Chain A
């Protein structure tokens, strides 16, 4: 019994003491610390977000969210995507090329509305270029498998 309690305390310490990694927030174990998520609509927009815990820093949260948008574009076979910070910006077609990540209720996190494009138009970002720019956050140099 004591062994299981020690194991439980160790697992809890591991989860609580680690910054959120690059993964979905739906996982039973890893999702406990947060992760990326998306919600469809309105229209063709996809709301993409990343929620971290109290240990992740702003730069990493920003990199994870940018990378996730690019990854979703490539999964949809769309070479380009554009990001809007709000629905009013989407209606006025005022895309942003970078994000300002802040805290919500003490947790680091942000979200953005994304439109995916087959052909380039002004305000679009290249999915391949964005993935390349932030790859070092997802696969740190020297990490196994990188």
Chain B
């Protein structure tokens, strides 16, 4: 198992513990003064939520505060980014915790999108590309998190 895989598994375990522990208890991320940061723009599906996404940096997990449709994250190390959704559907409850890992770079703007389709929920992250019609491009540092499923 290489270093990246080990780091991703470690971040996944931290997120699982954070979710099991109740995300309401996570502290809000507060960057230190003059700390280099990256920006995550939120898609409209998340832009109206006060704390739409959370991060784990391998040691601690935090809620990210929505600042006019944008989030600020620390740079230079792999982060686990995740969302906890609990929603009511047609005669049923629906919950999911999609996640991914990436390495933010200072000054780079990312775009996070969350969607529900055919009983699946998906969190995805792209790099902002204002020069293209589509507005985003693939972020090369994004990795999925391996999850063990029962059965």
Q: How many A-B residue pairs have CB under 8 A?
A: 77
In angstroms, how far is the closest chain B Cβ from the Cβ of A4? 27
Determine whether the beta carbon of B135 is less than 8 Å from that of A104.
no
Q: Kindly state whether residue A41 has any CB partner on chain B within 8 Å.
A: yes
Tell me how far the C-beta of A104 lies from the nearest C-beta in chain B, rounded to whole angstroms. 5
Q: Which residues of B contact A88 (CB under 8 A)?
A: 124, 138
Give per-residue flags for A26-51: 1 if the beta carbon is below 8 A from chain B beta carbons, else 0: 00000000000001111111010000
B134 close to A104 (CB less than 8 A): no
CB distance from B17 to the nearest CB of A (A): 27
The answer to the question of A102 belonging to the interface, with a C-beta cut-off of 8 Å to chain B, is yes
Distance of A90 Cα from B36 Cα, bound (Å) = 31
Q: A104-B119, A111-B115 are in contact. Are A91 and B136 (CB under 8 A)?
A: yes
Chain A interface size range: 20 to 34
User: What is the number of residues of chain B that contact chain A, defined by CB distance less than 8 Å?
Assistant: 30
* Cross-chain contact A107 with B134 (CB below 8 angstroms): no
Q: Which residues of A contact B32 (CB under 8 A)?
A: none
For the complex, is B108 an interface residue (Cβ under 8 Å from A)? no
Of residues 116 through 131 on chain B, the ones whose CB sits less than 8 Å from some CB of chain A are: 116-119, 124, 126, 128-130
* 0/1 interface trace, chain B 79-92, chain A, CB 8 Å (1 if under): 00000000111111
Considering the complex, give the chain A residue whose CB is closest to the CB of B126: A87
The reply to whether B89 and A105 contact each other, CB–CB distance below 8 Å, is yes
Chain B residue at smallest Cβ distance from A43: B135
Instruction: Determine which of B41, B89, B124 lies in contact with A107 in the assembled complex, contact meaning CB atoms within 8 Å.
Output: B89
A105 and B116: CB pair below 8 A? Answer: yes
Q: In the complex, what's the smallest C-beta–C-beta distance from B96 to chain A, in angstroms?
A: 10
**A41 and B133 in contact (CB under 8 A), knowing A88-B138, A105-B94, A107-B89?**
no
Q: Is A115 an interface residue (CB 8 A)?
A: yes
Q: A54-B90, A104-B119, A110-B117 are in contact. Are A43 and B43 (CB under 8 A)?
A: no
Q: Which residues of B contact A40 (CB under 8 A)?
A: 44
Instruction: Knowing A41-B135, A43-B133 are in contact, say whether A104-B117 is a contact too (CB < 8 A).
Output: yes
In addition to A39-B45, A102-B118, A105-B88, 4 A-B residue pairs with Cβ atoms within 8 Å of each other are A39-B44, A47-B44, A87-B124, A90-B134
